[in-house]
């Protein structure tokens, strides 16, 4: 798809996704002149062409720097972004060099599509499928894949692949829905360290509940000890 058709698709996405934009000619003016996300992606379409097709040195990076100052949105010239892209509000959005974004993707303010700093290959940034929604403040880091039709909750930190049609939430993001059906937290995979920490917390809670129960009955209560120091747990791997 050519640059002009991509821009038309981005304009349609802005009108469709931003309820604050009025109808008619006034709405057209607000999108073209007053919507940071549309301004940033429109500039990026041309910058990306200069960077990848004509291989112009320095200038694309310089223009992207001006766009960041103008809109508050930083998109590396090499980032590959599909049609119908929309950034709402826009402030603080960062999209890294090797990011690949599918069609009809929506980002909100404060989103980072970045790297972890531990990547060993050229591909350092995430790949987003089609129709992905990313809430404000979310961080998607590393060369991972977010499947099509997935939703990333606000302030989530995503470091692992996300399947299609999934809903992901949490500071240490976990999958809560796949295909619209809730995923039980009991079924989520835990590392041995996380499992051990949960067991220790449960043992401590049980220990103090038993002490309180004995105190209520008037029984003699033994001297308090650090239960976590005495607890020995063996985690087996099958």
Domain spans of the chain, in order of start: 3-187, 192-230
Which band of pLDDT confidence, cut at 50, 70 and 90, is reported for residue 110?
A: very high
Per-residue model confidence (pLDDT) at position 235: 42
pLDDT at 173 over 50: yes
Which band of pLDDT confidence, cut at 50, 70 and 90, is reported for residue 234?
A: very low
pLDDT at 170 over 50: yes
- The predicted model scores a pTM of 0.77
pLDDT at 197 over 80: no
pLDDT at 229 over 60: no
Cα-flanking dihedrals φ and ψ of residue 167, to 5°?
Answer: -115, 130
Per-residue model confidence (pLDDT) at position 215: 82
* Average pLDDT value for the chain: 88
Confirm if 75 and 103 have CB atoms less than 8 A apart: no
CATH classification for the domain delimited by 3-187, as one of 2.60.120.580, 1.10.10.10, 2.160.10.10, 2.40.50.100 = 2.160.10.10
pLDDT at 224 over 90: no
């Amino acid at each position: 798809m050519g640059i002009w058709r991509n821009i038309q698709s981005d304009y349609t996405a802005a009108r469709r996704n931003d309820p604050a934009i009025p109808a008619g000619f006034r709405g057209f003016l607000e999108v073209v002149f007053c919507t940071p996300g549309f301004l940033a992606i429109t500039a990026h379409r041309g910058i990306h062409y200069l960077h990848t097709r004509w291989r112009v040195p320095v200038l694309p990076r310089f223009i992207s720097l001006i766009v960041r100052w103008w809109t508050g949105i930083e998109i590396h010239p090499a980032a590959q972004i599909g049609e119908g892209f929309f950034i709402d509000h826009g402030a603080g959005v960062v999209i890294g060099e090797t990011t690949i974004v599918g069609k009809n993707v929506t980002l909100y303010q404060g989103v980072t599509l970045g790297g972890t700093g531990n990547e060993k290959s050229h591909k350092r940034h995430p790949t987003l499928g089609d129709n992905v929604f990313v809430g404000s403040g979310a961080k998607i880091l590393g060369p991972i894949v977010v499947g099509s039709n997935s939703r990333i909750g606000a302030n989530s930190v995503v470091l692992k692949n996300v399947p299609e049609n999934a809903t992901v939430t949490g500071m240490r993001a976990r999958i809560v829905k796949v295909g619209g059906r809730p995923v039980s937290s009991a079924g989520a995979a835990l590392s041995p360290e996380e499992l051990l920490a949960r067991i220790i917390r449960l043992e401590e809670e049980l220990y103090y509940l038993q002490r309180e129960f004995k105190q209520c009955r008037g029984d003699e209560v033994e001297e308090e000890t650090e239960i976590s120091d005495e607890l020995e747990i063996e985690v087996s791997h099958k």
